[in-house]
Structure 1
Amino acid sequence: MPWTQNYSALRGSLLLTALVVALPIVFLFWALAVKRMKGHLAGPLTLLLTIVISVAVYHMPVKAALSASLLGMVTGLFPIGWIILTAVFLFNLTVESGQFEVIKASISSLSPDRRVQALLIAFSFSAFMEGVAGQGAPVAVAAAMLIGLGFPALPAAVICLVANTPPVPFGPVGVPTLMMSTVTGIPGTVMARAVGYDMALFALGIPFFMVWVMVGFRRALEVLPAALVAGASYAAASFAVSTWFGPELPAITASIVSLLALVVFLKFWQPASVWTFPEEGRAAEVRRHSAAEVLRAWSPFIILMVIMGLWGTPFFKKWVAGHNLFVMVKEWPGLHGLVLKGAPIVAKPAVYGANYKWDYFAAPGTAMFLAAVLSTFVLRLSPATSLRVLRRTFRQLRFALVTLASVIGLGFLANYSGMSFTLGLAFAVLTGMAFPVFSPVIGLVGVFLTGSVTSSAALFGKLQQVTAMHLGLNPVLTTSANLFGGVMGKLISPQSIAVACAAVGLVGQETDIFRRTLKYSLILLCIVIAVVLVQAFVLPWILPVAPAAS
């Protein structure tokens, strides 16, 4: 017999029910922020607690609760985990071949001015790393590069955290935006357009803001032309790609455009005076490489862009659709047909369908894997070496994949149990039309807890959607605001700060960096809230509209 969701299951009280079913979120906060529990432990424990609450509070059938969790975990691993694994594999191949050192040197040799080097590495190149790898690699690699050039450790860590904001919703290979699409049912292309507006606007100012943080306003003005070139070229490319091609390539394409634009600009312009840190050490000598060497080093990522471009063409999509290259479970066992949505989400009880589909051949992760395989020939790596790198990559990510699967399993269970709807309805009652102010704050809190914009989308995406629908707002506004605000949480996330500290040798000084980045995070969050309010009440037509998910 089907089970009907009841959003006011405890004594008929919506707010009391919301208070109790919010316990998993509170537990996750306590586990990560207070107990500093590892994500691969906190995630499964939170999922287990959510299963218990779903059964005890909502009286959800145990079989359906377990099945919903499993559906979420499988969805988390394929396609999301597959994208992350293959992206990091491609990056690790370039490191193994030694070509990543050429990439670093090709960037570092363009200007002796530390402000310009920060624009090249902390902004443009870090954005590229976010697009192809994510998982902390952008901040870690960019900060280590700056240290190698002679930057002091603390400024290197702080400016890399500040600069690594515009590409985050689109890296690696669009995973955070794709996750929001998966959780809410809003098409990925629609989410990409909405987030693309936000992040293009932000990219215009972040390069200058980063330099301002680094040297102060007056010294930052001296490199304003370079900051504008870096930001405007990134913003234009990101906006165009996210608008016309979807969420997979904006960060990769825009970062390369930004790098190339800045490189060309520096051929004709340099700051009037070279600025360096008074206390910095001796800069490491940078070896210059030939154009052919640089082209070969960048070739894996050029291959990736070509393949991803092919994957996005209508011809390729039509060809894949005609050959049934996907895995499909039309009626997920133990769940499909067993859960009914209730009032006021629907006028009368309606089946909450459950199915699973993985377009394994057309998946971005498969394109990444093909690029990695082709790159082994260009990089002259043997099959044995490539397999060893793949095994190492899996070991490197195994705990992250466990965390990802458990958090997304939690998100799916929250949807099928009715928890997301209860919390969304409660937010609608408590905040009313002021909810757009809270949407980015919720995203920031999610990233602070989990260290991941992807996980924040899985946790709170449905809540944002349901709340917006019951307030008569565009759900695309609030779901994109969750991603937009979540980016600012990266500056203060314990995981992000730990990565930065490890990269620059400041382990044990995480509090110092947190105190520095907190104020910048709050400043940027206020700007985000202002933008979201304009989109909600002044220019609502600027965002695309998608039909409500089923």
Structure 2
Amino acid sequence: MDLFTATTDAVGGSAGLSALVALIPLVTFFVMLLAVKARAHTSALAALTAAVLVAWLAFGMPLELALLSGTQGAAFGAFPIVWIIVMALWFYELTVRSGRFEDLRRTFDRIGGGDLRIQAILIAFCFGGLLEALAGFGAPVAITATMIMALGVKPLRAAVTVLLANTAPVAFGALAIPITTAGTLTGEDPAHIGAIVGHQAPFVAVLVPFILLWILDGVRGLRDAWLAALVIGVSFGVAQWWSATHFSYELTDIVACLVSLGAAVLLLKAWRPRGARRFKERLGLPVGEAEAGEPLRPVRVWMALLPYLVVVGVFAVGKLWTLGADVPRALAATDLKVPWPVISERIVTAEGTPIAGATYTFSWLSSPGTMLFAAGLIVAVAYTLFSEGGRYRLGIPTALAQIWVCAHRMRWAALTIVAVLALAYVMNFSGQTVSVGVYLASLGGVFAFLSPVLGWLGTAVTGSDTSANALFSNLQHTAATNAGIDPNLLLAANTSGGVVGKMISPQSLAIAATAVRMEGQESEIFKRVLPWSLGLLLIICALVFLQSTVLAWMIP
């Protein structure tokens, strides 16, 4: 039985040349997407083919192992990723089919002071951040994109808005799993890593609401509603810093989202942004209803908000509840761990032990997708029983039928996600991804500046900050130790860099495109978000470099 061990200098014995060749699959994807203007799933399949060929011909991985690596990635892409996203879309569709979404729109209209720009920020940034804190894995983008588009924001603008909003919360997403992963793999205290991330991510958080205003309404939006952006961004950033440093890094995003939402509500009781009516007119929306003050009874408000109260409650129990019974532990105990055939036996580390990533976990009950399904069933029952004389009656059969409708609607996005995850696994198992990281780490002292790039790259490839930390945490730790830099700083930098890489991930692009019904136009979304991703990455790189030198006092 032939064993395979990935090396980082497989091409000509050179780390630099290996890193250059390893970039071929990624270059293939973006060239196909932008230059050839192929659809995302076609681009992803082309990049996957390139990754298999590079693994086989350049990195010396047996062809059958390269192909089997891709099958494990495809399985992970199908479940839990695609499962989560289908459930997220289905969950939103329940509110539409029940007729409650119009009430939800009017409720956010009240909360946002009648200004669609503020509503969009509250939904994408605050509410989306809360979903990221509890679920992650694409659910926030899928849910908030559909909500914002339903408010009247154009599809492309809605997609770009939610992708930009899904940045600062990502570091602490899904109960800070990315940070916990980094600590577990390196033996460092994840609470300390989280505290450092809490001194980096807030700088992005403060900027994001201003960027969202610019995307939504340009200079006019900034001029009219800058105070709301400032209050939302600063309150989120301060709460993020406080919770990560002094309270709980796992609950950081939950605290930050609730604080920023509360701060916005208090602000809007005493202040109203200008230009709200003119913005609606520019979108071609009616402007008389909200101003007329048509009564919206409290019961309708609560029923409109019910789905999102339920989803927060279900995730809170499934992820946090430990009183009397440890629910998260009980759910995790049902996970089925399956050593991937052949891969788990033939791909080994330099020490000759099987690699950790060769085990596929089928989290059928603990998956966020299953929790969304449970929340959806609760909502469907509630909307069936409390239909106010049949006006909002949904019906269980109608609700369940929408699952197939949502699955069929995102079939091409699902293919893209499956192909991208297959690509990521081939690149990871063959050594392509790590070879790029090792080369960057070899650049010496300047690596403090470049370290966030690894997190950015890893998240862009996999669509997950957790996966980026799994890929590069040990590398960051070793490079920092050799360079005389605090390892926790670079572990935090990997996490913070990843948050601005998620928006350009093919997985995220496919999810956003599907949510706003722009399937096949992922390249248009990518061109809009790429400059923002690179600009924010530069800010994080500069911040980390300064924290490793003149701003070292900032590190807790």
Q: With structure 2 as the length reference, what TM-score do the two structures score?
A: 0.75
* 2:111–2:265 contact (8 Å) kept in structure 1: yes
In structure 2, do the counterparts of structure 1 residues 175 and 15 end up closer, same or farther at CA, with 3 Å as the change threshold? farther
* 1:166–1:200 contact (8 Å) kept in structure 2: no
Q: CA deviation at 1:267?
A: 2.5
Residue-by-residue CA offset, 1:157-216 (whole Å, 9 max, x unaligned)? 699369625456279x7499669959x967997787765654444323433454477778
Q: How far apart in 2 are the matches of 1:542 and 1:195?
A: 11
List aligned pairs for 1:247-326, cutoff 5 A: 254-255=256-257, 258-270=260-272, 276=278, 280=282, 283-284=286-287, 285-286=289-290, 287-311=294-318, 312-314=320-322, 316-317=325-326, 320-321=329-330, 324-326=333-335
Q: How far apart in 2 are the matches of 1:125 and 1:367?
A: 21
Q: CA deviation at 1:414?
A: 1.9
3-state DSSP class of the match of 1:7? coil
In structure 2, do the counterparts of structure 1 residues 163 and 486 end up closer, same or farther at CA, with 3 Å as the change threshold? closer
Q: CA deviation at 1:336?
A: 1.7
3-state DSSP class of the match of 1:341? coil
Aligned to 1:345: none
Aligned to 1:548: none
1:403 equivalent to 2:416? Answer yes
Question: Which of 327, 331, 336 is the aligned partner of 2:336?
Answer: 327
* 1:51–1:65 contact (8 Å) kept in structure 2: yes
Q: How far apart in 1 are the matches of 2:174 and 2:64?
A: 33
Amino acid at match of 2:206: L
Q: CA deviation at 1:376?
A: 0.5
3-state DSSP class of the match of 2:272? coil
Comparing 413-422 and 459-468, the one that deviates more? 459-468
1:359 equivalent to 2:363? Answer yes
* 1:84–1:365 contact (8 Å) kept in structure 2: yes
Q: How far apart in 1 are the matches of 2:472 and 2:38?
A: 25
Aligned to 2:372: 368
3-state DSSP class of the match of 1:10? coil
Residue-by-residue CA offset, 1:243-297 (whole Å, 9 max, x unaligned)? 87777x8667755654444234322333589884598356433354122111111
* 1:31–1:42 contact (8 Å) kept in structure 2: yes
Amino acid at match of 1:227: A
Q: How far apart in 2 are the matches of 1:364 and 1:497?
A: 18
- RMSD value, Cα: 4.6
* 1:32–1:38 contact (8 Å) kept in structure 2: yes
Residue-by-residue CA offset, 1:356-389 (whole Å, 9 max, x unaligned)? 2233222222222111110101222212111211
Q: How far apart in 1 are the matches of 2:410 and 2:476?
A: 34
Q: With structure 1 as the length reference, what TM-score do the two structures score?
A: 0.76
In structure 2, do the counterparts of structure 1 residues 288 and 41 end up closer, same or farther at CA, with 3 Å as the change threshold? farther
Q: Percent identity?
A: 25
Alignment coverage as a number of residue pairs: 519
1:530 equivalent to 2:542? Answer yes
3-state DSSP class of the match of 1:270? coil
Question: Which of 395, 408, 433 is the aligned partner of 1:382?
Answer: 395
Amino acid at match of 2:404: R
* 1:170–1:250 contact (8 Å) kept in structure 2: no
* 2:194–2:249 contact (8 Å) kept in structure 1: yes
Q: How far apart in 1 are the matches of 2:113 and 2:530?
A: 30
* 2:168–2:202 contact (8 Å) kept in structure 1: no
In structure 2, do the counterparts of structure 1 residues 267 and 159 end up closer, same or farther at CA, with 3 Å as the change threshold? farther
Q: How far apart in 2 are the matches of 1:28 and 1:275?
A: 42
Q: CA deviation at 1:62?
A: 3.1
Q: How far apart in 1 are the matches of 2:549 and 2:480?
A: 13
Comparing 517-526 and 196-205, the one that deviates more? 517-526
Comparing 232-241 and 261-270, the one that deviates more? 232-241
Amino acid at match of 2:120: I
Q: How far apart in 1 are the matches of 2:467 and 2:417?
A: 9
Aligned to 1:142: 148
Q: CA deviation at 1:510?
A: 5.7
* 1:157–1:500 contact (8 Å) kept in structure 2: no
In structure 2, do the counterparts of structure 1 residues 128 and 339 end up closer, same or farther at CA, with 3 Å as the change threshold? same
Structure 2 alignment gaps of length 5 or more: 132-138, 385-393, 482-486
Q: How far apart in 2 are the matches of 1:332 and 1:274?
A: 55
Aligned to 2:436: 423
Aligned to 1:227: 229
Q: How far apart in 2 are the matches of 1:496 and 1:275?
A: 31
In structure 2, do the counterparts of structure 1 residues 441 and 485 end up closer, same or farther at CA, with 3 Å as the change threshold? farther
Q: How far apart in 1 are the matches of 2:128 and 2:72?
A: 30
Comparing 1-10 and 279-288, the one that deviates more? 279-288
Amino acid at match of 1:142: I
Q: How far apart in 1 are the matches of 2:161 and 2:412?
A: 25
Q: How far apart in 1 are the matches of 2:515 and 2:92?
A: 19
* 2:71–2:422 contact (8 Å) kept in structure 1: yes
3-state DSSP class of the match of 1:340? coil
3-state DSSP class of the match of 2:366? coil
Q: CA deviation at 1:104?
A: 1.0
Residue-by-residue CA offset, 1:95-139 (whole Å, 9 max, x unaligned)? 22121211111122456675xx42232344554257554446535
Amino acid at match of 1:470: A
Aligned to 2:89: 88
Aligned to 1:150: none
Q: CA deviation at 1:435?
A: 3.1
* 1:194–1:543 contact (8 Å) kept in structure 2: yes
Residue-by-residue CA offset, 1:58-87 (whole Å, 9 max, x unaligned)? 332333323322222222333333322222
Aligned to 1:45: 46
